[in-house]
Structure 1
């Protein structure tokens, strides 16, 4: 079963430890003289070889889908056999790199680690290979390019994407007299109040929306895109106190929390079934609207949920109508770890999985994720385009305003550290929002400086 893209909270001491351990690995794609890395030398070598590929998929359906695509790779390169190992986490990848037992190719669900991998050399620089093979990166949307590289070094490639939008219950909308999904944040708040139903004791029976942070995919990175928030400045500093989008997003969020009742929302959130279970609150009809990734469409089918639903872009801030249709994007990344024993064959696999249109379309169709290149998105073989629920996410992915959280050497701690702050804010524990954001920026800048 697909795990949503969530980052664990990261402390500064933990970052110092991780940075030191990875630094001991060397610089990945740089030779002993310190010169720039060179492209692989075995482009024409057809000596039979077996390479190891670690990925994080665990669900049988998804593991089988990966195997199908690897069969296509072997058909193209019959001299390369791929030993695929499922269920491999980023911690296991890092431990293997440090211990000198790294796989030849590794894929991750967490793009937040790209900055650390690129800056430490935990993943090798793919730039020379991309240049030598004339790989056209313009077929990858800019937001996706941003989270797969760091400070000019591309140590990973994107391997399918996750795009976020709004799911809404059509039956509950009709009962409340709401004709269409909200397009602005004020409409979202109004609809949430209309759609919320209470029990006799005043507790929430059906939540129109879950504005309480931590309720499924209700996290700041998905919310702030409605205001066009930019997490980092041009010089890589934390930007949350300087960009008015963050204060505006949190102010909107807390106002809705207060209106619906913080204690009531907290109790409702606690009672919600696990996000990835068939009893998911939206699938069960207890949550009228929610922000979620494109994978939910496959889960609804697989869970045989009877929910009558629609999908739409996340509403835009009232003063930013140009942002409607865009959203947040993240996704899987794939690269060649430091210590790969067969880097030539490893690059062939990375290139194939991340740029071959047929490979991307086949995997996207089977696992229900968004393919990461424009040719794959436009392929007539992409059956997902015929599903109106899924098409929303394809359109959001293509939107030029769609954004992401850029790669940073702190492993994305500047984002994960925001979550406890937002939780404290919604519970009334931050009396001065601007001052609180300024203090948070200081803490994040300390983490961000570790890799500078």
Structure 2
């Protein structure tokens, strides 16, 4: 009986010793939300995270990937339930809503002052609202004009179009020569992708979304942008399926050799040049999106995204360490094939440009003129209104002017 008592006492002592060590052995688990498509691949994000975990053995990161179209609502739902994520990827159009809803922590004081001048202004605008920064920019992106060099050569076209009018003229030549039935492909599905393409054209035509606090997308350059979209469909140079396509559909159509021109994000350049994923590898050209004579030389919209720490995170310091690692220049330079860095000096780094010199050259022009979508808390509702009315015009249910008048009427009640 004495032996049993001693054994129990020893066991209790041992367990107490283990318990006393548990804080040192404790592992912090972070939950992080990313998107599936475009920019960095899932494999890239997993590899970055694995390297972070090696450098921080006391931190484990659970990764979740969802389609872009689900990302916003996932963040909002998790915030409402009071549980969920420590780190989230968010779009440039959400900081106003997320700041007002207290979804993200203000991390202004955590960002080294020296970094401000080293990162592009367009990148900082991605995470900034009312003078405060709610994360670190991570994906610095805009849409570029991709073109099939072989098709242009067959058509006798010796350079990519400089203006949208020139692009349509080139597309007509390619169509008339029966090189491809529909020379242009876009992502015009009723989704945010449509607004990104539309915003690119608004920037080219010198339009605006609001003037003096009132909707202005039913006039001037913003209306001209929609008229161009509809004309390209009527002239049968735009693939009519574009009205149902997202960016991945555009990539696959272009990579299959079924289009001469495409508007898409950075990530398509290397994937369209990959023989394992593309029939036209080695025949892919890229340039800034065209401008409009007398109004712009090139056009671009801000499609960037940032990483933020949620206001409900129980591990904000570890979450910020993870974000700091992912957005560091060394890591971004290493994974620059699908998403170009936020850091200015990276664009002069031969290792970053190697194999994608044409893309980097285009980026230097486009990043400087990225046009923003409206930075308002009700942006999601505004976008939905615009998507519906733009598609109404593209499907021929209403004239462009009538469609945008209706959009302006509905939008005037949102602000």
TM-score by length of 1: 0.73
Q: 1:381 Cα deviation (Å)?
A: 3.7
Give the whole-Å Cα distance in 2 for the aligned partners of 1:370 and 1:351: 17
Give the whole-Å Cα distance in 1 for the aligned partners of 2:114 and 2:413: 36
Contact 2:174 2:180 in 1 (8 A): no
Higher Rg: 2
Give the whole-Å Cα distance in 2 for the aligned partners of 1:332 and 1:159: 6
2:212 counterpart of 1:240:
no
The gaps in structure 2 that reach 5 residues or longer are 1-23
Where does 1:111-130 land on structure 2 (aligned, <5 Å)? 111-130=92-111
Give the whole-Å Cα distance in 1 for the aligned partners of 2:175 and 2:331: 44
Contact 1:224 1:245 in 2 (8 A): yes
Residue number among 259, 272, 279 corresponding to 1:305 in the alignment: 279
Contact 1:166 1:292 in 2 (8 A): yes
Give the whole-Å Cα distance in 1 for the aligned partners of 2:212 and 2:349: 35
Residue number among 321, 324, 337 corresponding to 2:310 in the alignment: 337
TM-score by length of 2: 0.79
Report what 2:63 is aligned to. 85
Report what 1:3 is aligned to. none
Contact 1:102 1:337 in 2 (8 A): no
Q: 1:74 Cα deviation (Å)?
A: 4.5
Count of aligned pairs? 380
Residue number among 136, 141, 166 corresponding to 1:162 in the alignment: 141
Residue number among 146, 168, 189 corresponding to 2:125 in the alignment: 146
Report what 1:293 is aligned to. 265
Cα 1:159–1:279 change in 2 (3 A) is closer
2:42 counterpart of 1:63:
yes
Where does 1:130-279 land on structure 2 (aligned, <5 Å)? 130=111, 133-134=112-113, 136-197=115-176, 206-210=181-185, 213-214=188-189, 219-233=197-211, 237-241=214-218, 244-260=220-236, 265-266=239-240, 269=242, 276=248
Give the whole-Å Cα distance in 2 for the aligned partners of 1:431 and 1:328: 25
Cα 1:402–1:112 change in 2 (3 A) is closer
Cα 1:229–1:340 change in 2 (3 A) is same
Contact 1:220 1:419 in 2 (8 A): no
The gaps in structure 1 that reach 5 residues or longer are 1-45
Deviates more, 1:310-319 or 1:110-119: 110-119
Residue number among 347, 357, 380 corresponding to 1:388 in the alignment: 357
Give the whole-Å Cα distance in 1 for the aligned partners of 2:237 and 2:260: 17
Give the whole-Å Cα distance in 2 for the aligned partners of 1:181 and 1:314: 10
Cα 1:420–1:153 change in 2 (3 A) is same
Deviates more, 1:286-295 or 1:327-336: 327-336
